[in-house]
Structure 1
Amino acid sequence: MDDHYLHHVEDIGLACHIKRNLKAAVLATSVKNKDIKKVALETFKSTELEVHVKNALYKEYMKLKLIGIQNSSDFLLRNNEAFGDYGCFIKEPVDFIEEVQTKWSTRLRQAINRMSAQFGVPLSKQRTGPEQEYVLSQWGSLSQMLTGGDVKEFRPLFTAKDIFEILCTIRNPNLTEKAMVDLERWKMLPLNITVKSLQDLKIQFEQLDPKLVQLDSAAYSSETAEDEVLLQTSKVIKKGLYAAARFLCRYGCPTGNRFELWRMAFCIDFSGGKHVLHFEKLKQMVIKYKFLFDSILLQDLKNTVANDDNYFVFEDLLYQILFTFLRDTEIQEIGSYAPVDLPMARTKRKVGISDREVVYPPSGVIPIHGFSYYIAPLCFTQANPIPLYVVFSAMYKRYLFHLHTISSHPNSLLSLCCLFEDVLQQKNPTLVLHLKSIKAEPLKLAYKWILYAFSGYLDPDQVLLLWDRIVGFDSLEIVPILAAAVFHFRATSLLHISSLAEAEGVLGNLHTLKVLPLMQHMLFLD
């Protein structure tokens, strides 16, 4: 790490804590002046002070990396008032994408107000005393409480199809007509956005090399190899080093240690009780106020995850996480480091007071149809809603929000779709041309896999092994790599079909697939 991160140790008060502990250690021994430095260094390394410093610096590094600052020159260049928190410029830098982004935001804003008016339901309404008591009494079984015929009338404000259609309208005005025609021969999104090559990705994901030990590799499935992984995991957890935990995720996490490794990778500290207090505050908001989106999420969850054989048992837990998430204003901080428009809605105020626009829902997130699939796999890692919520919100704020927002960020849905098309073209151009010739666009077939990061399409254990790598490599780019790998794996069958319906049949069931060998074959094997 560059030296410019060190000044943040002063900012968080850690430096004073270190000095106090080192001073106490030196004074407790009859050390000579010439040996003070040696004793201080030994104390630093023999106590938890070294771990605290490394974790503090790593946490700051991950914050800065989130907004694209990798070194001191980036920091100095971007550390001015034109940028938001941590020097982040939050305006979409690509004009033609910003235009579409604005249109999409306007459409969602209008949809919120239109639905509220259509059903005569306010955006937010305070529950009566008896209603609050009832919600509190039913907190552990919200699926039984939240029923009613009126709920069936509510629909998600937008679906996977809606956002896909918007993406397909984006055009790069800087391209010539000839360039556009050439791109359309290969791609459904002919935007000429710069994405990484297969060679770049091979370097980026080098820890996936088949020659290296992976937890989910059949080549290393012996008890000895598994014991080695578990031993290494235990050492990392005991030591408490955040950076080491994230690095270990690149090789796949043991089932029993996954939640703890992710917790450390996201630099989350559960000591002190602040997370419990925050969740309790959000819970009280759920109890006190009923939101328009509560009914939307209720119906959406019942139509998706509640009917999924893998996830239906988590229905009540998912309601708790979803309803608290909607009310969490801390999620709005996404707007301080990513080019996203927070949704606004007009609230009705008292007579004589003009209406005003506020961020709605308070989280700043309008849930896409199937939003609960972003949470459901995590339910296998933790049964307690409080730590589960904390880790999910960290996962969402760093990665998952990109999957249903429009921007030019390398992790955005748009960029990931472009990367999928490029990677598949590089790996198997014959397959791409064949599928396009029969009107079976590869992106149209793979789009939902990318949108939901394969949640709901792969078995939960495979989804979690994929998400291990998202956390470990700090990138969503592994998702379109896997999507392209599925096509390449089933290329023989796909090359013998003659219609879109047949293509959907070949690619319809992914539950037998294992993610690691597919990704390895895509990146490292010809």
Structure 2
Amino acid sequence: MGDMKDNSIHRTAQKFAVEIQQMEEYRTLYSNVEKIAASPCVQKGDFKETLLSALRTSGVDMELRNVVFHRMRSHSNNANSTNGYPIKEPLAYLRKAQLQWEKRIHKSLNSMCAELGVPLARLRLASDRDELSDKWNELSTYDIDLSQYRPVYAPKDFLEVLLCIKSPNYRPVDGEGLWHFAQIPVRVKTLAELRSLYAEISRGEPLLGVNPHMPSASHPTLEAERTVLGEKVIGANHAPVAQEFLKRGCPKCQRGKVWAQVLGSQVRQSHVQHFNRLKQLVLQYDLLVDKLIIKDVQLTASNDDQYFVFEDILYQVMLCFSRDTDVLSVFNHSASNPVHAVLKNRTPYVENSVIFPPSGIIPFHGFTMFAMPVCYLYEDPAELYFTFRALYLRYWFQLHEVSSREQGILPLCLLFERLLQRHEPGLWAHFRLAGVQPVRVVFKWLMRAFSGHLPPEQLLYLWDAVLAYDSLEILAVLAAAILSFRKENLLQVDTLQAVEAVVADLSSIVVMPLIQVALLRENGN
């Protein structure tokens, strides 16, 4: 058994070594190791020990550890595999639903192009390019008529698709499958398993999001203690330590650096150059999705008191994201597929098609909300961009595709329903009697990871927990907890519109105490 384990570790190490050699950071790492190996501090007579010591002293050892950590995390996204090869989605009926959804999106794009008489992509006119370049840092003043453009889809459209999915093996009892997600038999965690996952929260440990001003043994307040510890964590530059640190909340002034460590999104010179190349592509090509992005920013951030000041930088980040072909790596483990468009005046064959947009991601109504909270962490557009991109590639892509994976939107909806049904049976029965589907109330929260619904400070504490526990399941826990918190008012109304009105304003919600209460509650209480 020991030999088998050693062989497995050896094979994994070999696989990682090959993958690391293909990474952008490899040349820099290899060059640094070469320089250290040739330095006087490495002795020929004791080469291994002195080299390892020099690597630790120089910080290169920690860089290598972080590279391996992020590579292992990316492999955990490939949860479904056969003989080492990733499977897009193991359940055939969900694969079919996803393909049908993609065809619908493609059709919507093509219909818009036909109605407006515009192509999916074209070279910008010189005058347009010059104007866009001149206004790059104040794109809110870029004048463009968007009255005829509409979002390709909104969360409610996607929800209707999900509610129509049924397992071919499912047999409904008394029509219950028509009312909620029981028709999709995907396993989700129990409350006991959630308590185990979110151990620090469920144990009632002091959290910044709950009691930042409470006295500490060695500092005036918990916030002061966490700030001192945070400086040490940032100085250590070790991603797993930074991730562990986030479990009890992160001080505002350190969140940007800690998140970048956890996500591996620290900006180097090569990243700045990459961001500038994306900017040039924006200036060079006019894409249909540019209008969709600009309109989405206008409909979300521009109309939000908390985010309107970030309008200009959001245009930059989102337009660059649409051109970033590195984002295509998400389709290696995503259940979805990028849209392909046929080149102009070419026959409709695969070899005559290109991925549209270059990133492969079609923005929907509210897509900008994934980037809005990150604006509070960074002033530099490049730093904002790479952390937003890392968050999307790690988490957010799962919120708008049909998938059975544990972190996908379908299992999150099912988890929300199970928690509400089991631990708020009275409220569940009330919804059932009124014919109100609870998931319709919370779906937009889940699909947008609560962005645009919670105050920024509370939302960032929630996203701290997403990164800390590397799980989106806390979104479903919070959604159920909010309905439980507003239960008294919800029991007084019996229409979907009235229910939505009761929970429309979440500005008074304090996230972490609600989640604590939800995790600590007993069945049915």
Give the TM-score, by structure 1 length.
0.89
- Aligned-partner Cα distance in 2 for 1:449–1:467: 13
Q: Which residue is 1:375 aligned to? A: 371
Q: Which residue is 1:227 aligned to? A: 224
What secondary structure is seen at the aligned counterpart in 1 of 2:189? coil
Q: Cα offset for 1:208?
A: 1.3
Structure 1 letter corresponding to 2:201: L
Q: Cα offset for 1:184?
A: 5.3
Whether 1:21 and 2:36 are equivalent positions in the alignment is yes
Whether 1:413 and 2:409 are equivalent positions in the alignment is yes
Q: Are the counterparts in 1 of residues 209 and 513 from structure 2 also a CA contact under 8 Å? A: no
Q: Which residue is 1:62 aligned to? A: 73
- Aligned-partner Cα distance in 1 for 2:367–2:389: 13
Q: Cα offset for 1:43?
A: 4.1
- Aligned-partner Cα distance in 2 for 1:438–1:352: 50
Relative distance call for 1:38 and 1:285 in structure 2 (3 A) is closer
Whether 1:309 and 2:305 are equivalent positions in the alignment is yes
Q: Cα offset for 1:426?
A: 2.0
- State the percentage of identical aligned residues: 30
- Aligned-partner Cα distance in 2 for 1:322–1:182: 41
The structure 2 residue matched to 1:128, chosen from 113, 125, 128, is 125
Q: Which residue is 1:262 aligned to? A: 259
Gaps of 5+ in 2: 1-7
Structure 1 letter corresponding to 2:193: D
- Aligned-partner Cα distance in 2 for 1:353–1:335: 21
Q: Which residue is 1:504 aligned to? A: 500
- Aligned-partner Cα distance in 1 for 2:204–2:157: 42
Which deviates further from its counterpart, 365-374 or 497-506? 497-506
Root mean square deviation of aligned Cα: 2.6
Q: Cα offset for 1:357?
A: 2.8
- Aligned-partner Cα distance in 1 for 2:270–2:466: 27
Q: Are the counterparts in 2 of residues 438 and 498 from structure 1 also a CA contact under 8 Å? A: yes
Q: Are the counterparts in 1 of residues 266 and 383 from structure 2 also a CA contact under 8 Å? A: no
- Aligned-partner Cα distance in 1 for 2:496–2:266: 49
Q: Which residue is 2:62 aligned to? A: 51
Q: Cα offset for 1:44?
A: 4.8
The structure 2 residue matched to 1:160, chosen from 155, 161, 165, is 155
- Aligned-partner Cα distance in 1 for 2:30–2:144: 54
Q: Which residue is 1:329 aligned to? A: 325
Q: Which residue is 2:477 aligned to? A: 481
What secondary structure is seen at the aligned counterpart in 1 of 2:147? helix
Gaps of 5+ in 1: none
Deviations 1:246-297 (A, max 9, x none): 22222222111111111111113423x1111111111011111111111222
Q: Cα offset for 1:144?
A: 0.7
Relative distance call for 1:395 and 1:508 in structure 2 (3 A) is same
Deviations 1:398-422 (A, max 9, x none): 1111111111121111111111111
- Aligned-partner Cα distance in 1 for 2:518–2:442: 16
- Aligned-partner Cα distance in 1 for 2:410–2:239: 31
Matches within 5 A, 1:396-407: 396-407=392-403
Q: Are the counterparts in 2 of residues 326 and 362 from structure 1 also a CA contact under 8 Å? A: yes
Structure 1 letter corresponding to 2:496: L
- Aligned-partner Cα distance in 2 for 1:447–1:472: 23
Q: Which residue is 2:520 aligned to? A: 524
- Aligned-partner Cα distance in 2 for 1:3–1:204: 29
The structure 1 residue matched to 2:136, chosen from 134, 139, 146, is 139
- Aligned-partner Cα distance in 2 for 1:301–1:17: 42
Matches within 5 A, 1:333-352: 333-349=329-345
- Aligned-partner Cα distance in 2 for 1:125–1:78: 43
Relative distance call for 1:436 and 1:129 in structure 2 (3 A) is same
- Aligned-partner Cα distance in 1 for 2:504–2:125: 47
Matches within 5 A, 1:171-190: 171-178=166-173, 181=175, 187-190=180-183
Q: Are the counterparts in 1 of residues 342 and 348 from structure 2 also a CA contact under 8 Å? A: no
Q: Cα offset for 1:41?
A: 5.5
Deviations 1:400-453 (A, max 9, x none): 111111111211111111111111112112211111111222111111111111
Q: Are the counterparts in 2 of residues 347 and 355 from structure 1 also a CA contact under 8 Å? A: no
Q: Cα offset for 1:353?
A: 11
Number of positions where the alignment pairs a residue of Structure 1 with one of Structure 2: 503
